[in-house]
């Protein structure tokens, strides 16, 4: 209904504007959901200009809003109600992480680790580099990356006076870029699934590998994180928002140090159990030992939940003698409470995502608009197409909060444009993937934005506000990189220009803002 109308942009634009004005993500997402319900519920009245039936559609509007939220938990079919187990598993995993964090703190594991690590890592720069390296190493899945790296790093970051917002930026800007650069990841498997229907005459895996070298945003994002840590770049938004929503936790008294193993064993077991289950569930579904096949069919939610629960049980066993008998209930209550805001935001983000994508059809409207403009553009296609596909992919992901949804929309369009104008599809694919990851980073309604904030233990609002200048700077540099590579027909030129601009930009940030 709205795919051919600019009305399709009303909901995502309103959500983003409200987030920026109110700095309240939950309120903004709910307002967007209500607005979408009004637009869909009263669509018939608007189309037929019949105010008499407006009242009749009020109930339909309310049911639409309820249905958008309810589909996160269950789906009605002819055979009955089907529970959305994968989503429930993710929520369960978040709560388990909250309890696990409190368990490690109460057992003295965090204090022991901080005491040990401060003898090895004595600066904010060192603790941030630990998070950066951990984010690169854990590349199998972005959810797993975002939530696990936070558990590894935040206690040491607190001890070295690095803010949670800086940690959230490091987590967010390593998780997705690393996953998109690694074909053997859940992201690589998903993209290969889309590719299977696009260029059947070519090897999809080879195309994905080829696109890696032109994925300027992912490479430059990692470089920007490195430079931000190395030069301790703190832009004004990062200075103004420090440990928002976590002040009470940072000031709370933790138990005296016990054993470092009470932190290391839970984290290592968490990585081990989840990693094993990711590949096991993939093998169970695909009956193949091929890594890509397994990752394409893995049950991520199931793996996160049961792997996390296994790690929690093991942690309880090894921590039991270090805990007071009446400590378990407070540990559970505080742990669950710490993750409840993230769960609420995630519910609303997952509710409004399909509304924007499928009902409002914002992505399809923008994609069709770009295709029409490109077909009538007088600028050379080999220069303009990579730039426009990057920009449109960025905006779609920013509005919808999903890079994966953007891949599904823009990769077929990119393939058509490349074939029509005789361009190399792998480069256009790089532009689409780069733009989608940037839009996902910059979006306040992205699940990776929400989970990175949850992993770091800061508010989603402060993470969104503090990260936006960093990732937008990288996006602009990436756009210039694509322009340079297109004009000179060389990926190397794009890298030379982009890397030089990265160093220059963040050096200037260091000199100007410190």
In angstroms, how far is CA 99 from the centroid of its own chain?
Answer: 22
Q: pLDDT averaged over the chain?
A: 81
Domain identity same for 66 and 102: no
303-334 confidence digits (pLDDT tens): 888 988 999 999 999 988 888 777 888 888 88
More confident residue, 485 or 58: 485
Domain end marker among 314, 329, 351: 351
Is residue 217 over pLDDT 90?
yes
Q: Which of 213-222, 383-392, 474-483 has the lowest average pLDDT?
A: 383-392
% residues pLDDT > 70 (the chain): 86
Asked, for residue 24, whether it belongs to a domain, the answer is yes
Distance CA 506, CA 225 (A): 10
- Smallest CA-to-CA distance from 170 within 370, 463, 413, 398 is with 463
* Greatest Cα-to-Cα distance within the chain, rounded to the nearest angstrom: 75
CB 425 within 8 A of CB 419: yes
Is residue 510 over pLDDT 90?
yes
Give residue 56's domain range: 6-84
3-state helix, strand, coil in the chain (%, to 5): 80, 0, 20
Is residue 508 over pLDDT 90?
yes
65-97 burial, b for 16+ CB within 10 Å, e for fewer?
A: beebeeebeeeeeeeeeeebeebebbbbbbbbb
Domain identity same for 333 and 381: no
User: How many structural domains is the chain composed of?
Assistant: 3
Domain identity same for 363 and 490: yes
Domain identity same for 76 and 146: no
396-437 confidence digits (pLDDT tens): 888 878 787 788 778 877 777 777 677 788 898 999 999 999
Domain identity same for 172 and 93: yes
State which H helix or E strand residue 81 sits in.
Answer: strand 80-83
Domain end marker among 327, 351, 375: 351
Q: What is the DSSP letter of 75?
A: E
Domain identity same for 157 and 282: yes
Domain identity same for 51 and 95: no
Distance CA 458, CA 440 (A): 18
Neighbours of 146 (CB within 10 A): 27
Asked, for residue 228, whether it belongs to a domain, the answer is no
pLDDT of res. 282: 86
1-47 confidence digits (pLDDT tens): 555 677 777 887 887 788 777 767 778 888 888 888 887 766 555 55
pLDDT band at 363 (very low <50, low <70, confident <90, very high): low
Distance CA 434, CA 221 (A): 10
Asked, for residue 208, whether it belongs to a domain, the answer is no
Domain identity same for 48 and 118: no
* Mean pLDDT confidence for 129-158: 79
Asked, for residue 216, whether it belongs to a domain, the answer is no
* Mean pLDDT confidence for 443-468: 88
Asked, for residue 236, whether it belongs to a domain, the answer is no
Is residue 207 over pLDDT 60?
yes
Is residue 250 over pLDDT 50?
no
The dihedral sign for the CA sequence 38, 393, 429, 466: negative
Domain identity same for 45 and 171: no
Three-state DSSP state, 76? strand
55-87 confidence digits (pLDDT tens): 556 777 777 788 888 888 888 777 778 888 888
Domain identity same for 323 and 436: no
103-116 confidence digits (pLDDT tens): 887 888 777 777 77
Is residue 395 over pLDDT 70?
yes
Asked, for residue 404, whether it belongs to a domain, the answer is yes
- Smallest CA-to-CA distance from 505 within 491, 488, 493, 479 is with 479
Three-state DSSP state, 65? helix
Domain identity same for 106 and 152: yes
Asked, for residue 250, whether it belongs to a domain, the answer is no
CB 116 within 8 A of CB 105: no
Three-state DSSP state, 287? coil
149-161 confidence digits (pLDDT tens): 887 788 788 888 8
**Beta-strand relationship, 80-83 and 74-77:** antiparallel
Domain identity same for 435 and 408: yes
Distance CA 507, CA 224 (A): 11
Domain end marker among 351, 375, 410: 351
pLDDT of res. 253: 44
The dihedral sign for the CA sequence 41, 43, 44, 46: positive
pLDDT of res. 480: 96
DSSP 270-329: HHHHHHHHHHHHHHHHH----HHHHHHH--HHHHHHHHHHHHHHHHHHHHGGGS-TT-HH
Distance CA 339, CA 335 (A): 7
**Token pair of 248 as six digits:** 């009470």
Q: Directed axis angle between helix 261-286 and helix 142-159, to 10°?
A: 170
């Amino acid at each position: 209904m709205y795919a051919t109308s600019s009305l399709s942009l009303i909901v995502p634009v309103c959500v983003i504007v409200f987030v920026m004005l109110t700095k309240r993500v939950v309120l903004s997402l709910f307002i967007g959901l209500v607005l979408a319900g009004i637009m869909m519920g009263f669509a018939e009245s608007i189309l037929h200009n019949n105010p008499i039936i407006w009242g009749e559609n009020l109930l339909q509007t309310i049911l639409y809003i309820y249905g958008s939220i309810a589909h996160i938990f269950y789906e009605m079919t002819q055979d009955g109600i089907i529970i959305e187990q994968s989503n429930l598993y993710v929520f369960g995993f978040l709560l388990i992480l909250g309890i696990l964090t409190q368990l490690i703190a109460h057992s003295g594991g965090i204090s022991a680790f901080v005491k040990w690590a401060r003898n090895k890592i004595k600066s904010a720069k060192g603790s941030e580099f630990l998070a950066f390296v951990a984010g690169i190493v854990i590349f199998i899945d972005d959810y797993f990356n975002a939530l696990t790296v936070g558990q590894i790093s935040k206690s040491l970051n607190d001890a070295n006076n690095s803010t949670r917002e800086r940690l959230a930026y490091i987590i967010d800007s390593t998780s997705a870029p690393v996953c998109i650069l690694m074909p053997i990841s859940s992201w690589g498997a998903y993209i290969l699934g889309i590719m299977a229907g696009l260029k059947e005459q070519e090897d999809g895996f080879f195309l994905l590998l080829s696109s890696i070298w032109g994925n300027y945003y992912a490479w430059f994002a990692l470089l920007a994180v490195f430079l931000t840590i190395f030069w301790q770049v703190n832009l004004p938004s990062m200075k103004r928002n420090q440990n928002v929503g976590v002040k009470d936790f940072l000031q709370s008294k933790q138990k005296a140090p016990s054993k470092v193993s009470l932190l290391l064993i839970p984290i290592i077991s968490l990585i081990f159990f989840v990693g094993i289950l990711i590949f096991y569930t993939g093998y169970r579904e695909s009956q193949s030992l091929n890594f890509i096949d397994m990752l394409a069919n893995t049950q991520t939610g199931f793996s996160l939940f049961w792997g996390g629960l296994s790690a929690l049980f093991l942690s309880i066993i090894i921590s039991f003698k270090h805990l007071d008998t009446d400590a378990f209930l407070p540990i559970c209550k505080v742990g669950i409470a710490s993750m409840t805001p993230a769960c609420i935001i995630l519910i609303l983000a997952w509710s409004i995502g399909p509304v924007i994508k499928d009902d409002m059809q914002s992505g399809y409207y923008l994609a069709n608009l770009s295709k029409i403009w490109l077909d009538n553009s007088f600028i050379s296609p080999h220069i303009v197409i990579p730039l426009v596909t990057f920009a449109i992919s960025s905006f779609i992901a920013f509005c919808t909060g999903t890079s994966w949804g953007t891949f599904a929309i823009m990769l077929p369009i990119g393939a058509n444009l490349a074939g029509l104008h005789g361009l190399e599809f792998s480069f256009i694919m790089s532009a689409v993937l780069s733009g989608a990851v940037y839009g996902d980073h910059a979006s306040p309604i992205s699940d990776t934005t929400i989970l990175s904030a949850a992993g770091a233990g800061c508010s989603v609002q402060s993470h969104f506000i503090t990260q936006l200048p960093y990732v937008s700077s990288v996006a602009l540099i990436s756009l210039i990189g694509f322009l340079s590579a297109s004009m000179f027909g060389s990926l190397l030129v794009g890298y030379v220009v982009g890397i030089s601009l990265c160093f220059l930009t963040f050096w200037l940030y260091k000199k100007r803002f410190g």
